[in-house]
Amino acid sequence: MNFYFLLFDKFETLDLFGPVEIFGRIPDARLNYISMKGGIITSAQGTQILTQKAAKLSDDAVLVVPGGRGTRPLVKDADFLAGLKELADSAANVLSICTGSALLVAAGVLVNVKATSNKYAFEWVTSTGDAVWIRKARWVHDGRFYTSSGVSAGIDMALGFVADHYGLDVAKANAQKAGYIWNEDSEVDPFT
């Protein structure tokens, strides 16, 4: 399975590396770090990552969109949103962490799709466009879309994705190997 992590300046570091830790434990997973222009991208915490320029994804691709402070200006960036829509439309699955769902909804990707986001930024995220917003959820799965609440919830969502695609035992083993206590129930979000 090919995972494509779409990065932008000032993304939230744990939004990326939590799911990377989980997906990187899948034996056949290939992890790819992309951005709209390619090159070095810097997280909100100063971590720099070399990315490849985004291109149309394969039919089996999983697009992963983190959140963070960098989402604020991007919800108004028409070129970024058009590129995001093209990537999302070509991916088999689309996952977002935290305020990454604001980018997906602003790009017109989550129309009539159940979704959630970071509860501390929920009012702002829901103002960026129409989706069927679920406040009380750690993560939400609707069709080919997975959206999670804030930051560490991306790890729970990633494990939920692994359970759905590789089996519950694989997800539990990955959580165990990562030393992570998985919040297995997507409807329980202690930050709601």
Q: 98 catalytic, yes or no?
A: yes
The active-site residue, picked from 36, 98, 113, 115, is 98
DSSP the chain: -EEEEE--TT--HHHHHHHHHHHTTSTT-EEEEEESS-EEEE-TTS-EEEEEEP-PPPTT-EEEE--STTHHHHTT-HHHHHHHHHHHHH-SEEEE-TTHHHHHHHTT--TT-EE---GGGHHHHHTTS--EE-SS-SEEEETTEEEESSTTHHHHHHHHHHHHHH-HHHHHHHHHHTT------TT--TT-
Which residues does the annotation mark as catalytic?
Answer: 98
